[in-house]
Chain A
Amino acid sequence: MSAFWHEWRNRPLTGGARWWRTTGALLLGLAGVQLLTGLTLMTVYTPSTTDAWPSVWYIQHRVDYGAVVRALHYYAAHAMIIVLAVHLVRVLVSGRFRPPYHWAWITGLLLAPVVLMLAASGNLLPWGQKELGQAQVETHIVGSMPVLGPMLQRLIVGGTELGQRALSTFFMVHVALLPLVGLVLGMVHLGQISHADRREATAAGADAQSVAASYFPYQSAWNAVAFAMLMGGLLYLAVTRPVPLGPPAHPGLPNSPRPEWYFLALFELRRYFTGPMEFVATGVIPVAILGWLILLPALHRVMGAVVARVLAVVTAAVLVAGGGLLTWLPLQRDAADAEHQAVLTELERVARRAATLAEFGVPPAGPAELLERDPVIMGPILYRQHCAACHPYGGQWAKEPKAADLKGFGTEEWIWGLVQKPDDPRFLGHTKHREMAEWSQETLAEATEDEREEIRQAVRWLAGHPTGVPEEEDESPFALGYEAFDAWCIECHTYEGEGGFNVKGPDFTGYGSAQWIEEFIRNPAAEKFYGDEAEMPAFAGKMTDVQIKVLARWLAGQTDPVLQE
């Protein structure tokens, strides 16, 4: 090892120290950062579908400097891909792929997919909604490759569906297999460069042992400065821009997966190769590019230095321009895609809320359970799934409204709106219930100013989800509200077992509370609600108990998660 190190640092530096020669050292330094931060993260991170997201949340929000280490690992990964691309273009343009550097060139090229696979495998580890969607598409792309594809997909996924075994496999690949392969290839790469530098120097007739021209410390000084600047940049990013943590994976959440930026060009290529030609975009083209690059040293031998050099520069230009364009196109398209943006906004909303919920602890059943029981996250999702076919919400979501708009249901403003205009499409206008409209036209329209104020009082009282009956001499607002209700509403609406003498409207005991809404959703045709007059179907059995509770709480404006009983 020390002999290797000695060889490496004392190799001749033909052509002198240069800024642009620091890219290789930067990659080595970044690999070191990844090894260090990766090992550190591993002391907390847990590769389990129920614990992955919570452990990353814990790193991010609880562990001292957790957010910084995670961000360093994240930004260094992206930096590595960028520096790798610069390194590749630099070597291409400077012609250092030619003999005696050709073997180093090939091992270097093989390191490129290792770095990309490290990024792709690490990406899945938080087991978030976005990352799971990406992995789903990526593993299916692997599976759609001819011949070996399906088998490879099964091995990676650990079965037919992404689950615990896929996460364990990705973890092993990310923390052990790829780093080992990278380490071995990297050592070989360095040894080959060292060897080639000596041959180059001997061929040029320079004194290989001359201290003045050795790699260390002349180029090393530049490397150290370049790496210090890069490290400074990474630390600055890590401290000032924490890496966001998306929502945990939950099959009930929407998704609109896009690959990370380094795969966007391949994603875009798939638009032009479809059907049986698909694997051309994600299989043939990347392999062909790699193959062409590997062949460049041979071309140098066959066609001469000048032709090879020109080809290399053209290749670099095509790769940079083509890759850039293919990355830019989908970014432009997505920026203008309202639906895609809406999904991203929704996922951000869920992510923020999930992070808040995690403050109170994540149940052992995992973060999906946390989401499932939260009115804030699941309320609107369940509403759109189960209610929005008939009930609009704030004028939205229902294409053909057939029932009341439930935004603000049970609030004073909502009830007073209904009392004044029951026939409004916001309230009972779409339904067959006409009794309330008749009452409004006959009774409310004829009421004096004082009487209207009394009805208003009953409404205010109802908005408090009342239960219980006041004592005789009670003169509290609650008692006054009860009296107003008793005077104006009791004919049709029951309360605590009284009323409903005329027409039978819904029972108002606890009206608008989560409990009331929950019972109503379970069975609107229950005797205490609409009985035979119910138009809305019963949801007991169609939705789970937890779902109905969550939805009811959300409609009642409550935010507390439904806890396990």
Chain B
Amino acid sequence: MTRRMLLALFSRIVAAASAVAALVPNVRFLADPLRRREETGPKRYRLARLAELPVGEPTPFVLRGRQVDAWKVYPSRILGQVWVIRDNDATDADHARLRVFSATCPHLGCTVNHDPEKRRFVCPCHAGVFTLDGEPVPSKELGYQNPVPRGMDPLKWSLVEDETGELWLEVEYVRFELGRPERVPVA
């Protein structure tokens, strides 16, 4: 009987070890997305000449760039959209005031639209609403719970002179983690 028990134990251990040996590479394979880091960090985009931007009216811009999707490389793909509001008609870098927001809704990542009648940014997915300052509109005002966890993500911008002396609006595009009250860049 001891011989039988020993053999049984032996076969179980060997089988379990083989199973683990087979499992380990598979688990590592499946966990690959957790280890993968995509090229991140802000990317600069030249959007428009300052003089061309309408004053007080939110203007959308589509950002295009190189995108790597696993083994596929897209040379020019839409990576995101931003809203630009020019606050005054100053045409010099010192006095011009602008607001630049990522159009990605911080709730679940849909693209935020501008409602010109209500003068609000509105997300079509779960009806999140923002003021033109990018702040969430209080739920009381809406009559329902505003689902957004934080305001629209402001982006760093600068005015850069080109060879002809004209000022261009440049934006540093960053993606932030969704659904959180705080802003954490996607790593």
Q: Identify the A interface with B (CB < 8 A).
A: 49-50, 133, 136-137, 140-141, 143-144, 151, 154-155, 157-161, 163-165, 251-252, 255-257, 270-275, 278, 339-340, 343, 385, 389, 399-400, 537, 542, 544
* B178: Cβ under 8 A from any A Cβ: yes
Interface residue from A140, A159, A270, A542 paired with B147 (Cβ < 8 Å)? A270
Closest 8 CB pairs of A and B: A163-B69, A251-B78, A144-B179, A256-B124, A274-B145, A140-B108, A274-B147, A164-B70
Q: How far is the CB of B36 from chain A (nearest CB, A)?
A: 6
What residues of chain B lie closer than 8 Å to A257, measured between beta carbons? 110, 124-125
Contact A255 B54 (CB under 8 A): no
B7-15, B16-24, B56-64: which lies at the A interface? B56-64
Dominant SS among interface residues on chain A: loop
Contact A252 B33 (CB under 8 A): no
Contact B178 A155 (CB under 8 A): no
Interface residue from A151, A155, A163, A274 paired with B146 (Cβ < 8 Å)? A274
Alpha-carbon separation in the docked complex, A104 to B34 (Å): 37
Q: How far is the CB of B50 from chain A (nearest CB, A)?
A: 12
Interface size, B (range): 35 or more
Contact B109 A136 (CB under 8 A): yes
Q: How far is the CB of B149 from chain A (nearest CB, A)?
A: 6
Alpha-carbon separation in the docked complex, A270 to B108 (Å): 12
22 contacts between A and B (CB under 8 A): A50-B72, A137-B110, A137-B125, A140-B178, A143-B179, A144-B178, A154-B33, A155-B34, A159-B33, A161-B38, A161-B69, A163-B70, A163-B72, A164-B71, A165-B69, A165-B70, A251-B77, A256-B124, A270-B126, A270-B147, A271-B144, A275-B147
Residue of B nearest to A277 (CB): B145
Q: How far is the CB of A364 from chain B (nearest CB, A)?
A: 11
Contact A160 B78 (CB under 8 A): no
* B52: Cβ under 8 A from any A Cβ: yes
Alpha-carbon separation in the docked complex, A366 to B6 (Å): 61
Instruction: Digitize B23-46: 1 where CB-to-A-CB distance is under 8 Å, 0 elsewhere.
Output: 000000011111010100000000
Instruction: Digitize B144-160: 1 where CB-to-A-CB distance is under 8 Å, 0 elsewhere.
Output: 11110100000000000
Among B38, B108, B178, the most chain A Cβ lie within 10 Å of the Cβ of: B108
What residues of chain B lie closer than 8 Å to A252, measured between beta carbons? 62, 78
Q: How far is the CB of B160 from chain A (nearest CB, A)?
A: 15
Contact B72 A544 (CB under 8 A): no
Asked, given contacts A137-B109, A164-B71, A275-B149, whether A544 binds B125 with beta carbons under 8 Å apart, the answer is no
Q: How far is the CB of B128 from chain A (nearest CB, A)?
A: 9
Contact A155 B31 (CB under 8 A): yes
What residues of chain A lie closer than 8 Å to B38, measured between beta carbons? 159-161
Q: Identify the B interface with A (CB < 8 A).
A: 30-34, 36, 38, 48-49, 52, 54, 57, 59-60, 62, 64, 69-72, 76-78, 108-111, 113, 116, 124-127, 139, 144-147, 149, 178-179, 181, 186
Contact B57 A340 (CB under 8 A): no
What residues of chain A lie closer than 8 Å to B109, measured between beta carbons? 136-137, 140
Alpha-carbon separation in the docked complex, A479 to B2 (Å): 113
Q: How far is the CB of B142 from chain A (nearest CB, A)?
A: 11
Residue of A nearest to B48 (CB): A542
Q: How far is the CB of A380 from chain B (nearest CB, A)?
A: 15
What residues of chain B lie closer than 8 Å to A255, measured between beta carbons? 110-111, 124
Residue of A nearest to B150 (CB): A275
Contact B110 A164 (CB under 8 A): no
Residue of B nearest to A267 (CB): B126
Alpha-carbon separation in the docked complex, A232 to B106 (Å): 47
Besides A143-B179, A155-B34, A161-B69, 13 more A-B contacts (Cβ < 8 Å) are A137-B110, A140-B178, A144-B178, A158-B70, A161-B38, A163-B70, A255-B111, A257-B124, A271-B126, A273-B145, A278-B179, A339-B124, A537-B49
Residue of A nearest to B127 (CB): A271
Contact A165 B76 (CB under 8 A): no
Contact A137 B108 (CB under 8 A): yes
Contact A340 B124 (CB under 8 A): yes
Contact A155 B33 (CB under 8 A): yes
Residue of A nearest to B78 (CB): A251
Contact B125 A165 (CB under 8 A): no
What residues of chain A lie closer than 8 Å to B149, measured between beta carbons? 275
What residues of chain A lie closer than 8 Å to B126, measured between beta carbons? 270-271
